Amino acid sequence: MEKSAVFNGKLLPYLLLVPQLIITFVFFYWPASQAVWQSFLREDAFGLRSEFIGLENYQALFAQPEYYAAMLTTLVFSTLVAVLSLSIALLFATQADKNLKAAPVYKTFMIWPYAVAPAVAGVLWFFMFHPSLGTLARPLRWMGFDWNPVLNGNHAMMLVVMAAVWKQISYNFLFFLAGLQSIPKSVIEAGAIDGAGPMRRFWTIVFPLLSPTTFFLLVVNVVYVFFDTFGIIDAVTGGGPAGATTTMVYKVYADGRLGGDLGGSAAQSVVLMVIVIALTAIQFRYVERKVQY
C-alpha cells in the first residue's frame, strides 16, 4: 500500500539542492564572511588604504562603556517590542476571528501598516509626538504631562517602542489569524459544551494549538527587533537623547554608515550576528520543546 519513490542516483538530489545552496552562499555566507574579514581591518571611508590589525577593533569595542549601554538598551527594547507586538496582535486576532459583519474591512485595515516603510513609520511617529510640533504631544502637555522625548530617555524609548510595535503588529496579526482559523471549531465547541468559559477555552485549547505559530513569530520578531528597526530609530530619535535609544544595530549603522568607521562597525555586526545565532539556537533548543505540533 505504501507509496515511496527511491532514487538511487547520487547526483540528482545534490543537483536539486544547488540553486538553494548558491542563493544561501551569495546572500548569506559571502557577505557574512566579508563582515568578519572587515572586522580585522582598519580602513578609511573611501577604501583607499586598509591595514590588518587583528582583534584591535574588538578590543576598542569592548573598552567602550557606550557599547554595554547599547547592549542593555537592546535588551529592554527587544523585550518590550517582542512582548507587546505579539500580545497586542494576538488580542486583535482573537477579536477578528469572531463572527463579525465588518471582519474583512477590519482585517484589511489591520494589515495596512505592514506596507509602510520603517523610515516612513518613524517620521510619522516623530511628527505626532514631537514635543512642540506634535499633534498628539500637545494634548499630553495640556494634561500637565511633561512629555519631552528630545531630552527624556524614557520618553524617547516609549516612542521608538510604539513605532516598532505598531509596525510589526500587522505581520503578527496575519499569522495569528491564520493560526486561529485553522483550529477546528468542533474542539472549541466541545469545550463550550463541557462548560468551559471563554477564557478557559482560550488558555487550555486555543493557545496551545497556536503554539507553533507563536514560536515561529517569536523567532521572527526577535530577528526583526535586532536587525530591522534602525530605520525607525534613525527617523524618530537618531539614537538619542544621550544614547538612550541607541540599540546595537543602530550603533552599527551610526558608526559605519554615518561615522565612516567600517572596521569597528563590522566588528559590531559580527558580535550582533553571534548573539542572534545564539538566541535562535536557544529558542529552538528550549522554547520549541513546549511547542505542540
Partner 1 sequence: MMLRHFGLATTLAATFALASPAHAVTELQWWHAMTGGNNDVVNKLAADFNASQSDYKVVPSFKGGYADTMNAGIAAFRAGNAPHIMQVFEVGTATMMSATGAIKPVYQLMKDAGEPFDPKAYLPTITGYYSTSKGEMLSFPFNSSSTVMWINKDELKKAGIAAIPKTWPEVFDAAKKLKAAGHATCGFSNAWASWVHIEQFSAWHNVPIGTKSNGLDGFDTELKFNSPLHVKHLQNLIDLQKDKTYDYGGRANAGEARFGSGECAIFLTSSGYYGTAKGTAKFDFTSAPMPYYPDVAGAPQNSIIGGASLWVMGGKKPEEYKGVAKFFAFLSDTDRQAKLHQESGYLPITKAAYEKTKASGFYEKNPVLETPLKELTNKEPTANSRGLRFGNMVQMRDLWAEEMEAALAGKKTAKEALDAAVARGNAVLRTFEKTAK
Binding region for partner 1 (CB under 8 A): 42-49, 51, 60, 66, 130, 132-133, 141, 150-153, 238-243, 254-255, 257-261, 264
In the bound state with partner 1, the residue whose beta carbon lies nearer, of 191 and 239, is 239
Residue type, 212: P
Task: Kindly state the smallest distance separating residue 69's Cβ from partner 1, in Å.
Answer: 10
In the bound state with partner 1, the residue whose beta carbon lies nearer, of 130 and 201, is 130
In the bound state with partner 1, the residue whose beta carbon lies nearer, of 191 and 256, is 256
Task: Kindly state the smallest distance separating residue 235's Cβ from partner 1, in Å.
Answer: 11
CA–CA distance, 150 with 136 (Å, rounded to integer) = 15
Residue whose C-alpha is closest to residue 221's, from 31, 81, 34, 104: 81
Question: Are the C-beta atoms of 157 and 245 separated by less than 8 Å?
Answer: yes
Q: Which triple of cell numbers denotes residue 227? A: 536587525
In the bound state with partner 1, the residue whose beta carbon lies nearer, of 107 and 138, is 138
In the bound state with partner 1, the residue whose beta carbon lies nearer, of 83 and 242, is 242
Alpha helices per DSSP H over 182-247:
185-193, 198-201, 207-227, 230-236
Ranges assigned E (strand) in the chain: 41-43, 50-52
**Chain centroid to CA 154: how far?**
20
In the bound state with partner 1, the residue whose beta carbon lies nearer, of 110 and 232, is 232
Task: Kindly state the smallest distance separating residue 147's Cβ from partner 1, in Å.
Answer: 11
Helix axes 153-181, 118-129, angle to 10 degrees: 130
Prior bond to 241 cis, omega within 30?
yes
Task: Kindly state the smallest distance separating residue 167's Cβ from partner 1, in Å.
Answer: 21
CA–CA distance, 214 with 251 (Å, rounded to integer) = 29
Task: Kindly state the smallest distance separating residue 131's Cβ from partner 1, in Å.
Answer: 8
Task: Kindly state the smallest distance separating residue 54's Cβ from partner 1, in Å.
Answer: 14
